[in-house]
């Protein structure tokens, strides 16, 4: 019998604007020892579904279900007390951000003890034994020392292991992992996923893995359910669903993923637009406005989840009888003809063995000793028409290098050349030229645009020093918006009225405003959903082709680098550990860290699976 | 889901302030109007009528009379002038000081910040009222000195809030983008940084106003602020204390006037903090 | 509930939350501020002209003033005067009171316990009241419980404490004749002053405790705690309420100045023999030596108190010592 058996789960939340329906009929079963992946973009209802299974909904949410059985107990009308018993005895939960999932005020040991069964925490000795045992089982080194640490003294990976240990403290039968690796670095991600995998096998756990990343799901779970707008729209064996998607949304997600074995010749398929707000949802298929295959019937009837004979799994689309979905060929602008880099031309910028040490010596800090440098002896150069990727995990110094190149930080040692002159020796006119020709695109976040300024005003700021005539400026802004694929109506909006993807387009337009020769983009897509990511990456590629610009792309994602860059540099703890052409580095990594990074990259969606799709 | 909550809060924010807040605005407005127009109302706060001492509130003397037969109502109307004047002026000076120093320290950082912040630390290590007592006793009690003392005591509140806001904003991506677009430093401060401190100052300014009012009243009550016979709410409460048994009205009405103004300021301050989602307690 | 003390025991056994570096830094900062405060007092004294003239009785002859100036070194160059000033303060060496003729420092010291008794009791009671009301308004079962107590308390906030005290005297002493109006002859004298002062502390504590609890309620670690399957009550208290104590304690620290100001006013109003009343008396009657000694002592006490509060904050939330 399934450990978890849910049918027609619906959740409503009463808000001031009306009734929100984040979950609109979800059915799931998980057997002991089985892992189910629940996949979707942000706002599709996957997290709230998983929280409902743990009975952790907010009081303003009401839940109805035809069947809601957890561990053989019917929970459809369960009291808060019954839920607590279930959480205590049979369900463990792992949260997205381990640093926030631990109480910052309490020692690790105290928090662990709190999760234990009474017999285990009956005495200090017993709880100590049990804690050591738990930490050991999740692979925490020096478990004894950890017990007397505070969460803020731990690294993200370590904290996540401790959260897992807490979830396991009462030997649960079901483990719910809500984006367990999203907040972690790539190399740590793999370890945590491996750990969950091993625990599942050893302890015969049923695992519900909630994630936005199809790559995470592919190697780790048996079955996958794809959610969109509060419903499951495709469900089946993982490989089946990914390689023979029967729903346009899944197909688009798969086609949108940049991965390390996908070159620029295989264009990404983006999915424009946003998931619909789940309030007063009109009838018909929820994907309709974004769907490339929508027909008249999609507007009237919301397709039910039906078994698709030809692919052997379930999908909710009127087109399912065609079997595997074939998306229309990608829009013309992504067909690539790579601009041959003019490698012989003089470099636009060169970085010569720069080192950066942060933090000035403060009076009361002298005993802490010198800080480790954030960037150690890094050199690089970028020629016209060339694209360079810098990859590394957080804290590797990759962003610092980029910021030094545009003058947002000063190198402690070494020099940076614009053309053939060091930045420090530039004449005022040349500084102007440098500021024009080298542009920076910030990582999208709510802070990349002034929340008080309209979009037009934000872009205009970039033009102020170049274009004295206000009329001409407005004209330029209109052109720029069109060039990055935004409508004119956006000009008068404020940043909070835009989606993340749109904000990033504005950021790109702001950089383009000065007709740069080199654009340095810091994690340009890391804050975006996969489908939106693809549209931005395609935009970057198109601009490069049309304008013949050079790029330096900073990213933690090998797939992104692979998709855009000719050359790449791998940074690790401030050092460049590997450099060369993208192909060469990925095919034949020399440094131990690069190899680890490639192995850890979650998305090996194999080429043949994909090519049959396109 | 989050999109919806933002929408609703925004709808709430954009609409009219709640009834309580409207009422507070009205109250404050009335008191201000009365006080400003005191010289034109033809009431004399000094006129003694020895035939009518310690009269309870009546039709003729709505708030009663004091030991010298002066009309409490007239004195309450006039008595608002010192606290409100001191409150507004001291707040304005303190806000300007705090804003200027805060911008300087937050934007320049380094030595300037170190110096100003230490200064603020020292300032905050002397309890306000004690410093005020000392200054007033050494340099004499005058309205000017009162204003200086109160402004000195409260600039640190604005300074800390502005400074930490500037430090938070100055490294945000959009400010760096402006820097990369060759916008001058002064313009960056004016365009991007200064506007973001205004909501904070609205909140701390309102809090400062009621504190300043309280301080002026307390000093006057202690006999170190406004000196009799000048009508002043704090002084009047103090005068009424000795007559509490025989004439509760002498202290009651000026006291109530104070309560009304402080209440309105508080309600307005809370509302502002709510609208701008700022914490009004100076804890960031 | 036995488990809570058990966890506490475990926590205490494992590690002290305070780092020496934090203590050191905080203590140095406190000493620096205190030095700054004393220096400001000195500068102000000097700015009035001749400090000896200020400190001497009004009736003093020129010789007597000169004698006093020599005794305390006011005839020396300013840097020496400054040094003497600091040395004298450290030794508690102030001129005699102009009225009682007793050493000013002793005069003040004698009253310190009274003020401590009043101030500490009021802060503790006020904070407790604020915490209770704040907790109820954040986690109360019914809407009435959540709204009414805090609204009532907030009204108190807009009553200046001298007026508050006056109202209390009017009702409880004059009308009901339950409690004495002034002086300090029995514990019953303490009730009204403490109530007045506690009314100053409680509203802000209640409001901040409520808003912090409501913020923390949506933090992710609360969900983790729930996921452990511990009772809702334990989640509320151990993870929500106790975590919210940090900012509240910081607020109490920031309010200490206000409490002191309140104590000065309340002591004067109730003729309670504390440092505040002495200070006001000295100021009104221009007894400068006593005023000076009181100011310095109050600064010292104030700095010690805020240091203790900061340490308390760190004990509650160890992250607070990281900058
Ligand atoms: S039902 Fe229509 S709109 Fe919905 S996914 Fe299928 S084709 Fe697209």
How does strand A206-211 pair with strand A223-228? Answer: unpaired
Q: Largest Cα–Cα distance of chain B, in whole Å?
A: 79
* Cα–Cα distances in angstroms (integers) from residue B102 to residues A9, B89, B164, in the given order: 54, 19, 8
Predicted pLDDT of residue A328: 62
Give yes or no for residue C281 having a pLDDT over 70: yes
Strand, coil or helix: what is A104?
coil
pLDDT at A97: 87
B1 pLDDT exceeds 50?
A: no
Q: Domain segments of chain B: what residues?
A: 23-283
- Whose tokens are 């904050």? That residue is C313
Q: For position A177, what pLDDT does the model report?
A: 92
Q: What is the DSSP letter of C240?
A: I
Residue A479 is classified by DSSP as H
Contact A434, A417 (CB under 8 A): no
Cα–Cα dist A162/A135, whole Å: 7
Domains A4-90+172-315 and A348-602 share a fold: yes
Q: What is the dihedral of CA A547, A553, A558, A559, to 10 degrees?
A: -30
Nearest to B1 among A13, A449, A510 (CB): A13
Q: What is the pLDDT of residues C67-109, one digit of tens each?
A: 877 777 777 777 888 888 888 888 877 777 777 778 888 888 8
Give backbone dihedrals phi and psi of B270, rounded to 5 degrees, phi first: -60, -40
The mean predicted confidence, pLDDT, of chain A is 83
Average pLDDT over residues C256-266: 88
Task: At A550, give phi and psi (nearest 5°).
Answer: -100, 150
| Residue in B closest to C45 by C-alpha | B138
- In A33-183, where does DSSP find H-type helix? 46-53, 80-89, 98-101, 108-115, 124-137, 143-147, 156-168
The whole-angstrom separation of Cα B182 and Cα A461 is 9
Q: Could you report the predicted ipTM of this complex, rounded to two decimals?
A: 0.83
The per-residue DSSP string of A396-462 comes to SSHHHHHHHHTTSS--SEEEEEETTEEGGG--HHHHHHHHHHEEEEPPPSTTSS-TTS-HHHHHHHH
SS3 readout for B226-259: CCCCCCCHHHHHHHHHHCCCCCHHHHHHHHHHHH
The answer to whether B207 and C137 are in contact (CB under 8 A) is no
Give the CATH number of domain A348-602; options: 2.30.29.30, 3.40.640.10, 3.40.50.300, 3.40.50.720.
3.40.50.300
Position in ligand 1 atom list of the atom nearest CA A286? 4
pLDDT of res. A610: 41
Residue B7 pLDDT exceeds 70: no
How far does the centroid of ligand 1 lie from the alpha carbon of residue A271, in Å?
13
* pLDDT higher than 70, residue A383: yes
Assess contact for B258 and B251: CB atoms under 8 A.
no
Instruction: Flag whether pLDDT at B8 surpasses 60.
Output: no
Q: What is the pLDDT of residue C6?
A: 53
Which token pair is A386?
């060339």
What would the two tokens of residue B33 be?
Answer: 């109007």
Q: Whole-number mean pLDDT of chain C?
A: 84
Residues of A with CB under 8 A from a CB of B: 13, 15-17, 20, 22, 43, 48, 277-279, 406-408, 432, 435, 439-440, 442-443, 445, 447-450, 452-453, 458, 461-462, 464-465, 496, 507, 510, 514
Going from the C-alpha of A335 to that of each of A254, A257, A524, A612, C76, the distances in angstroms are 18, 16, 21, 18, 89
Nearest by CB: C11 against A93, A110, A121: A110
Taking one residue from A and the other from B, the number of pairs with CB-CB distance under 8 angstroms is 72
Tokens of A604: 């090996």
Please give the average per-residue pLDDT across B253-276, as a whole number.
88
Q: Does residue C228 contact residue A115 with C-beta atoms inside 8 Å? A: yes
Asked if the B23-283 domain carries CATH number 1.10.150.120, the reply is: no
Angle between helices B81-108 and B143-170 (to 10 degrees): 30
Lowest mean pLDDT among A47-61, A357-371, A429-443, B176-190: A357-371
Q: What is the pLDDT of residue B100?
A: 94
First to last CA, chain A: 39
Quick one: residue A71, left, alpha or beta (phi over 0 = left, psi -120 to 50 = alpha)?
Answer: left
Q: What is the distance in A from the centroid of ligand 1 to the CA of A318?
A: 6
Q: Of all atoms in ligand 1, which is nearest to the CA of residue A297?
A: 2
B238 contacts on C by Cβ (under 8 Å): 162
Q: Are A589 and A578 in contact (CB under 8 A)?
A: yes
Percentage above 70 pLDDT, chain A = 90
Q: Rounded to 5, what percent of chain C is helix, strand, coil?
A: 80, 0, 20
Task: For residues A309 and A6, give the distance between their C-alpha atoms in angstroms, rounded to a whole number.
Answer: 24
pLDDT digits (tens, 9 = 90+) for B25-82: 999 999 999 888 888 877 777 777 777 777 777 777 777 777 777 877 778 888 888 9
User: What residues in B contact A48, CB-CB < 8 Å?
Assistant: 1
Query: CB C175: neighbour CB atoms within 10 A?
Result: 11
Q: How far apart are the first and last CA of chain B?
A: 27
Q: Which residues of C touch A98 (CB under 8 A)?
A: none
| CB contact (8 A) between residue A105 and residue C228 | no
Query: What does DSSP say about strands A421-422 and A174-178: parallel, antiparallel, or unpaired?
Result: unpaired
Q: What is the mean pLDDT of residues A549-570?
A: 88
Q: Which of residues 182-221 of B touch A (CB under 8 A)?
A: 182-183, 191-192, 195-196
d(CA B20, CA B35): 23
Tokens matching residue A216: 């995470």
CA of A308 to the centre of ligand 1 (A): 15
CA–CA separation, A229 and A226 (whole Å): 10
Pair of tokens at residue A36: 């189910």
pLDDT at B283: 41
Q: Is A110 close to C6, i.e. CB distance below 8 A?
A: no
Residues A190 and A201 sit within 8 Å (Cβ to Cβ): no
Residue B256 in this model has a pLDDT that exceeds 70: yes
Best mutation target among B118, B182, B184 (most A Cβ atoms within 10 Å) is B182
Which secondary structure element, helix H or strand E, spans residue A520, and what is its range? strand A518-522
Cα B188 to Cα A147, B111, C12: the distances in Å are 48, 21, 50
Residue A160 CA: distances (Å) to CA of A139, A180, A526, C57: 11, 8, 21, 72
Tell me if chain A has a CB within 8 Å of the CB of C3.
yes
What are the pocket residues of ligand 1 if the criterion is a CB atom closer than 6 Å to any ligand atom? A 248, 285, 287-288, 291, 293-294, 298, 303, 317-319
Which is the closest atom of ligand 1 to the Cα of A285? 4
- Neighbouring CB atoms inside 10 A of C2's CB total 5
User: Which residue has tokens 């959480």?
Assistant: A87
| pLDDT value at residue B15 | 58
Residue C48 CA to residue C70 CA, distance in Å, equals 18
Answer for the pair C299, C321: CB distance below 8 angstroms, yes or no: no
How many angstroms separate the alpha carbon of residue A291 from the centre of ligand 1?
6
pLDDT at C107: 84
Cβ–Cβ under 8 Å, residues B181 and A465: yes
Question: Per-residue pLDDT averaged across A407-430, rounded?
Answer: 87
H or E element, residue A4: strand A4-15
> Taken in order A22, A28, A34, A37, is the CA torsion positive or negative?
negative
Does A127 contact chain C (CB < 8 Å)? yes
Residue B162 confidence (pLDDT) above 50: yes
Give yes or no for a contact between B45 and B74, defined as CB atoms under 8 angstroms apart.
Answer: yes
Nearest to B197 by CA among B103, B75, B123, B105: B103
Q: What is the CATH number of domain A4-90+172-315?
A: 3.40.50.300
* Nearest alpha carbon to residue A126 among A169, A172, A175: A169
Of A135, A129, A229, A216, residue with least CA distance to A181: A216
Indicate the pLDDT class of residue A360, thresholds 50, 70 and 90: low
Q: Work out the pLDDT band at A344, boundaries 50, 70, 90.
A: low
Query: What tokens were used for B184?
Result: 């001058």
Tokens of C19: 């780092």
Does residue C232 sit at the A interface (CB-CB below 8 Å)?
yes
Q: Give the total residue count for chain A.
A: 614
**Are the C-beta atoms of residues A28 and A46 closer than 8 Å to each other?**
no
Nearest residue to A339 via CA among A381, A389, A384, A391: A384
- Residue B87's pLDDT band, with cuts at 50, 70 and 90, is very high
Domain ranges of chain A: 4-90+172-315, 103-170, 348-602
A49 pLDDT band (50/70/90 cuts)? very high
Selecting from B122, B139, B210 the residue whose C-beta is nearest the C-beta of C33 gives B122
Residues 6+ apart with CB under 8 A from A350: A379, A380, A381, A382, A416, A417
> Which domains are delineated in chain C?
19-107 (no CATH), 112-273 (1.10.3720.10)
For residues A158 and A148, give the distance between their C-alpha atoms in angstroms, rounded to a whole number: 14
Residue A479: what are its φ and ψ, rounded to 5°?
-65, -45
Q: What is the DSSP letter of B57?
A: S
Task: State how far Cα C225 lies from the chain centre.
Answer: 36
DSSP 8-state class, residue B16: P
- Nearest CA residue ID for atom 7, ligand 1: A294
What's the CA-to-centroid distance between C130 and ligand 1, angstroms? 57
What pLDDT is recorded for position B229? 83
For C156-198, write each residue's pLDDT tens digit: 888 998 888 888 888 887 777 777 777 777 777 888 899 999 9
């Amino acid at each position: 019998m399934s450990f978890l058996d849910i049918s027609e789960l619906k959740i409503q939340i009463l808000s001031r604007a009306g009734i929100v329906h984040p979950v609109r009929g979800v059915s799931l079963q998980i057997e002991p020892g089985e892992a189910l992946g629940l996949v979707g973009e942000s706002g599709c209802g996957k997290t709230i579904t998983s929280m409902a299974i743990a009975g952790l909904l907010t009081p303003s949410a009401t839940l109805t279900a035809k069947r809601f059985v957890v561990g053989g107990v019917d929970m459809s009308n369960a009291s808060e007390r019954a839920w607590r018993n279930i959480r205590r005895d049979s369900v463990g939960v792992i949260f997205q951000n381990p640093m926030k999932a631990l109480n910052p005020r309490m020692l690790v040991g105290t928090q662990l003890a709190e999760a234990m069964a009474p017999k285990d925490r009956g005495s200090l000795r017993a709880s100590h034994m049990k804690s050591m045992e738990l930490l050991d089982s999740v692979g925490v080194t020096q478990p004894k020392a950890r017990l007397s640490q505070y969460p803020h003294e731990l690294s993200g990976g370590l904290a996540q292991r401790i959260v897992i240990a807490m979830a396991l403290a009462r030997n649960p039968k079901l483990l719910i992992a809500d984006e367990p690796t999203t907040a972690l670095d790539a190399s740590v991600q793999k370890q945590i996923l491996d750990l969950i995998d091993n625990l599942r096998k050893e302890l015969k756990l049923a695992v519900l893995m909630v994630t936005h990343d199809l790559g995470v799901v592919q190697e780790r779970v048996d079955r996958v359910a794809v959610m969109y707008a509060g419903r499951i729209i495709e469900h089946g064996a993982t490989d089946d669903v990914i390689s023979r998607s029967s729903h346009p949304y899944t197909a688009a997600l798969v086609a949108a993923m940049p991965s390390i074995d996908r070159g620029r010749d295989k264009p990404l398929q983006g999915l424009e637009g946003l998931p619909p707000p789940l309030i007063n949802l009109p009838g018909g298929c929820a994907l309709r406005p974004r769907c490339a295959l929508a027909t008249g019937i999609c507007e009237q009837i919301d397709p039910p989840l039906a078994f698709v004979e030809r692919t052997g799994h379930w999908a909710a689309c009127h087109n399912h009888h065609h079997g595997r979905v074939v998306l229309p060929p990608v829009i013309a602008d992504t067909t690539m003809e790579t601009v041959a880099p003019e490698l012989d031309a003089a470099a636009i910028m060169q970085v010569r063995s720069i080192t950066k040490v942060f933090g000035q010596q403060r009076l009361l800090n002298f005993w802490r000793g010198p800080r480790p440098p954030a960037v150690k002896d890094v050199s690089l150069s970028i020629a016209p028409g060339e694209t360079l990727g810098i990859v590394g995990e957080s804290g590797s110094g990759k962003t610092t290098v980029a910021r030094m190149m545009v003058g947002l930080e000063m190198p402690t040692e070494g020099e940076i050349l614009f053309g053939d002159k060091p930045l420090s020796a530039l004449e005022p006119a040349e500084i102007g030229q440098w500021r024009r020709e080298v542009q920076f695109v910030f990582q999208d976040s709510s802070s990349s645009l002034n929340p008080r300024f309209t979009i037009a005003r934000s872009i205009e700021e970039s033009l102020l020093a170049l274009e004295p005539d206000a009329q001409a400026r407005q004209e330029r802004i209109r052109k720029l918006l069109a060039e990055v694929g935004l409508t004119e109506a956006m000009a008068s909006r404020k940043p909070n009225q835009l989606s993340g993807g749109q904000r990033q387009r504005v950021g790109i337009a702001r950089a383009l405003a000065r007709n740069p020769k080199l654009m340095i983009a810091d994690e340009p897509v890391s804050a975006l959903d996969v489908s939106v990511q693809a549209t931005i990456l395609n935009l970057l590629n198109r601009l490069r082709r049309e304008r013949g610009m050079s790029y330096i792309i900073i990213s933690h994602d090998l797939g992104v680098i692979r998709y855009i860059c000719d050359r790449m540099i791998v940074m690790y703890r401030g050092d460049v550990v590997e450099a060369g052409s993208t192909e060469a580095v990925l095919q034949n990594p020399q440094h131990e860290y690069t190899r680890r990074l490639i192995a850890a990259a979650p998305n090996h969606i194999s080429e043949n699976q994909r090519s049959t799709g396109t | 889901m989050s999109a919806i909550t933002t929408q609703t809060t925004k709808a709430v924010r954009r609409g009219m302030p709640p009834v309580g807040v409207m009422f507070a605005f009205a109250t404050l407005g009335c008191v201000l109007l009365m006080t400003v127009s005191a010289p034109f109302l033809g009431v004399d706060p000094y006129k003694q009528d020895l035939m009518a001492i310690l009269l309870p509130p009546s039709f003729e003397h709505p708030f009663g009379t004091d030991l010298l037969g002066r009309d409490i109502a007239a004195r309450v109307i006039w008595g608002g002038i010192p606290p409100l004047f001191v409150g507004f002026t001291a707040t304005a000076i303190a806000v300007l000081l705090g804003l200027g120093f805060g911008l300087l320290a937050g934007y320049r950082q380094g030595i300037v910040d170190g110096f100003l912040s230490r200064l603020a630390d020292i300032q905050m290590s002397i309890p306000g009222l004690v410093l005020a007592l000392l200054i007033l006793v050494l340099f004499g009690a005058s309205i000017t000195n009162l204003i200086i003392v109160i402004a000195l005591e409260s600039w640190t509140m604005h300074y800390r809030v502005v400074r930490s806001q500037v430090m938070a904003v100055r490294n945000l991506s959009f400010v760096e983008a402006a820097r990369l677009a060759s916008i001058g430093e002064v313009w960056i401060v004016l365009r991007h940084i200064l506007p973001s401190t205004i909501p904070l100052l609205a909140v701390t300014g309102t809090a400062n106003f009621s504190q300043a009012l309280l301080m002026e009243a307390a000093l006057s009550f202690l006999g170190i602020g406004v000196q009799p016979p000048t009508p002043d709410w704090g002084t009047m409460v103090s005068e009424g204390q000795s007559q509490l048994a025989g004439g509760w009205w002498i202290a009651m009405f000026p006291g109530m006037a104070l309560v009304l103004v402080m209440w309105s300021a508080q309600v307005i301050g809370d509302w502002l903090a709510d609208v701008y989602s700022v914490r009004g307690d100076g804890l960031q | 509930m036995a488990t809570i003390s058990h966890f506490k025991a475990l926590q205490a056994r494992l590690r002290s939350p305070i780092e020496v570096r934090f203590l050191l830094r905080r203590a140095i900062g406190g000493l620096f501020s205190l030095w700054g405060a004393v220096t400001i007092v000195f500068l102000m004294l000097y700015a009035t002209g001749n400090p000896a003239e200020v400190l001497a009785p009004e009736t003093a002859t020129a010789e007597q003033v000169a004698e006093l100036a020599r005794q305390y070194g006011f005839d020396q160059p300013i840097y020496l005067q400054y040094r003497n000033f600091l040395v004298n303060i450290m030794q508690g060496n102030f001129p005699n009171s102009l009225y009682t003729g007793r050493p000013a420092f002793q005069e003040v010291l004698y009253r310190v316990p009274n003020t401590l008794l009043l101030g500490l009791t009021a802060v503790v009671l006020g904070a407790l009241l604020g915490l209770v009301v704040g907790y109820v308004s954040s986690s109360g079962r019914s809407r009435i419980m959540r709204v009414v107590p805090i609204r009532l308390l907030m009204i108190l906030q807009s009553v200046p404490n001298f007026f508050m005290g006056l109202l209390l005297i009017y009702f409880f002493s004059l009308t009901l004749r339950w409690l004495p109006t002034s002086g300090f002859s029995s514990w019953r004298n303490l009730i009204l002053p403490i109530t007045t002062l506690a009314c100053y502390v409680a509203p802000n504590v209640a409001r901040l405790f409520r808003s912090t609890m409501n913020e923390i309620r949506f933090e992710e670690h609360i969900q983790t705690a729930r996921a452990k399957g511990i009772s809702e009550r334990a989640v509320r208290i151990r993870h929500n309420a106790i975590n919210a104590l940090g900012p509240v304690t910081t607020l109490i620290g920031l309010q200490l100045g206000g409490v002191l100001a309140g104590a000065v006013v309340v002591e004067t109003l109730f003729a309670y023999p504390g440092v505040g009343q002495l200070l006001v008396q000295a100021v009104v009657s221009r007894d400068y030596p006593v005023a000076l000694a009181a100011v310095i002592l109050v600064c010292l006490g104030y700095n010690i108190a805020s240091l203790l509060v900061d340490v308390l904050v760190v004990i509650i939330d160890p992250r607070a010592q990281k900058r």
